[in-house]
Amino acid sequence: MDFVMKQALGGATKDMGKMLGGEEEKDPDAAKKEEERQEALRQQEEERKAKHARMEAEREKVRQTIRDKYGLKKKEEKEAEEKAAMEQACEGSLTRPKKAIPRGCGDDDEEDEESILDTVLKFLPGPLQDIFKK
């Protein structure tokens, strides 16, 4: 009878037990296997990180040789030098350097403001224009 049942199901008797509501077969070594799998994943991740660190170190060597060959500086070094130059220029001065003032903050001419005010006043009725002109 088992042979006929197995033939009818195509060899899927283990799954048949699950479908009929039977309990799953538990592997006694499942916890151990899962722990080994997790350890293998951790080890692979460490190897991958080490590989990438080595590759980045090689790239940095190549970058440094190019910097040395063409007399270039690292981005951080450039920024530090610019910052030091700005601080040095500002030391004896009471005002900020022009670069430090953002565009449109206090450097605009008053003529622009007056022209805008005049433009708005043109659209107001006569009595309101008199009130605002005073």
Question: In this predicted model, what pLDDT tens digit does every residue of 3-44 receive, in sequence order?
Answer: 666 666 665 556 666 666 655 567 778 889 999 999 999 999
The residue among 130, 108, 113 whose CA lies nearest residue 121 is 130
Q: Which amino acid is at 87?
A: E
User: Is 56 inside any structural domain?
Assistant: yes
User: Is 78 inside any structural domain?
Assistant: yes
- Concatenating the DSSP letter of every residue in 10-33 gives TS-HHHHHHHTTPPPPPPTTHHHH
Cα maximum dimension of the chain: 111
The residue range of the domain holding 74 is 32-93
User: Is 85 inside any structural domain?
Assistant: yes
Question: In this predicted model, what pLDDT tens digit does every residue of 83-133 receive, in sequence order?
Answer: 887 777 666 556 655 565 556 665 555 445 567 777 877 778 877 777 777
Specify the number of domains making up the chain: 1
User: Is 48 inside any structural domain?
Assistant: yes
User: Is 17 inside any structural domain?
Assistant: no
User: Is 59 inside any structural domain?
Assistant: yes
Angle at 63 between CA 58 and CA 64, to 5 degrees: 95
